[in-house]
Chain A
């Protein structure tokens, strides 16, 4: 399957700062990437669909001005949490839609643990 990396794996920041998370598709050109968030003991919730060369599509209730997504190339999408607050602390995971030997599933990155103090 597709190999997906995320950087950083863990970040701690002060309230009010911005944090950028990178998602890279290492062996697959991804026109579409997905960003999820998981709170402790909760389900993965889709935040937005990142489309290469165009604006991201955000799910209902997700603030597009707070969670900035840029998908500038077929192998890189970035999620920037602007003016982070403690309630933004979560596990953020990206995924690539299909690829590799299978075209009917998504391949996930290892995730980024964000802690906002």
Chain B
């Protein structure tokens, strides 16, 4: 039972344009959501998070939007840079990220120079 889903396994975006990565969840107990970036043969690196009391969180080029009614979140990267090419995982938790994280299957983002 995949409680966190990333339906796009891959995405290609031109450098300088906006990258939008999507994530859906089914468990209504999730109240904290995180995005991680992962390079091959490395552990995930935390990017940005959002609590269910907010619908938007911004950090530099990264913005996460949360639509609780739709159980959907998205990560916007603008402008996209070649170094952004990686696999992006969304994750969800029922307690502020210090508890068990449930990960999505990941989206491979390729930025085309």
Contact = CB atoms under 8 A, between A and B. Distances in A.
Contacts of A41: 9, 105-106
A108 B98 contact: no
B105 A43 contact: yes
Interface of B: 2, 4, 9, 32, 34, 36, 41-46, 49, 89, 96-106
A98 interface: yes
A107 B89 contact: no
Contacts of B43: 4, 6, 93, 95, 108-111
Secondary structure at the A interface, as helix, strand, loop or mixed, is strand
Given A42-B105, A49-B100, A108 B45 contact: yes
Interface in A65-117: 91, 93, 95, 97-98, 102-111, 113
Nearest 5 CB-CB pairings of A with B? A108-B43, A44-B103, A104-B97, A43-B103, A43-B105
B46 A97 contact: no
